[in-house]
Amino acid sequence: MAVLCKPEVAVPEYIITNDETLELAQRLHSDHPQLDLVLNLIEHTGVLKRHLIQPIEKVLKHPGFDERSVIYEAETKARVPAVVRRALNQAELEPQQIDLIIYVSCTGFMMPPPTAWLMDTMGFRPETRQLPIAQLGCAAGGAAINRAHDFCQAYPDANVLVVACEFCSLCYQPTDVGVGSLLSNGLFGDGIAAAVVRGSGGTGIRLERNGSYVIPNTEDWISYAIRSTGFHFQLDKRVPGTMEPLTPALSAVAEQHGWNAGKLDFYIIHAGGPRILDDLSHFLDVPPEAFRFSRATLTEYGNIASAVVLDAMARMFDEASALDGHRGLMAGFGPGITAEIALGTWTSDEGGRA
């Protein structure tokens, strides 16, 4: 059975606190007709700080989409390899033992994808398969785990590397002043995560079942408008209320496996915002403490898009509270509105490391 080993995560060195974000919003948008609402929403995101690949002064300038694309490629190549090496070490594997690299990012674009560059520079085999995922947004972290699981089911004993690289600050648009856009400016952060799914052996979460669900007629609730200035993030005010229609989908996947989604031992959930976690706690009827890993990611890093589920998972590994046989649910949410759902059981391997 495929085992998801401990993820590795890195956040960049530049930090902006929530207080600094509020001050910026007040200064830059002092004449906004809904400024009080915006400030209240930002204040209650649950985010204390976020990490950025550039100082906030550079982020605010927006040098143009072409220059941002140059920055995205340079920062990807500078920051991703170290995270990948640590993730491989956690799985006790070498690059030559990886059979598929899944690379997810919704905040920049490269062709050929970064997987080809990683293969050229880090010692992966030329036969290694590549699967870049660019358009699932925050759900892509969950999708990558599920596609890795599928691959290992099709090819027993295969090993898959998952990489999530998100530089959300490169999507800042100074001309976007809708409430949803301004809220996003106080919510999203930058981060990189990587993890290995081993086809055999390893300590971590043994992946057992996965599923996907799209809420009908919600494709425009989370989206990009792609213009000459780059990606313009669009967020509908109805998004925070999506856990009510999505909870039955999570429960259905668990029921197919003979599990009760509200009676599991651990939960790794995409922390899009505090209401997502609060509502899911209510509708699944689980205590708020069950989402402590996701909430910690939101508090310390903000919403780091597809990397959230991997960071929350790494926090669970660090807590070392999972015991053999503990059952859990993982879920990522993103554009569509899409839910990527996975079930797994904690397993220890004498030859592996947590």
Q: What element of type H or E holds 209? A: strand 204-218
Selection from 199, 129, 189 nearest residue 164 by Cα = 189
* DSSP structure string for 93-147: --GGG--EEEEE-SS---SS-HHHHHHHHH---TT-EEEEE-SSGGGHHHHHHHH
CB atoms within 10 A of CB 203: 25
The tokens for 6 are 């401990």
291: which DSSP letter?
A: G
- Please report how the helices 308-319 and 292-301 are oriented relative to each other, as an axis angle in degrees rounded to 10: 120
How would you classify the pairing of strands 204-218 and 190-198? unpaired
d(CA 321, CA 135) in angstroms, rounded, equals 34
d(CA 335, CA 130) in angstroms, rounded, equals 23
5 counts as catalytic? no
Selection from 330, 263, 346 nearest residue 294 by Cα = 330
Indicate which residue of 138, 152, 165, 168 is catalytic.
Answer: 138
d(CA 349, CA 274) in angstroms, rounded, equals 35
d(CA 74, CA 66) in angstroms, rounded, equals 13
Which residues are marked as active site? 138
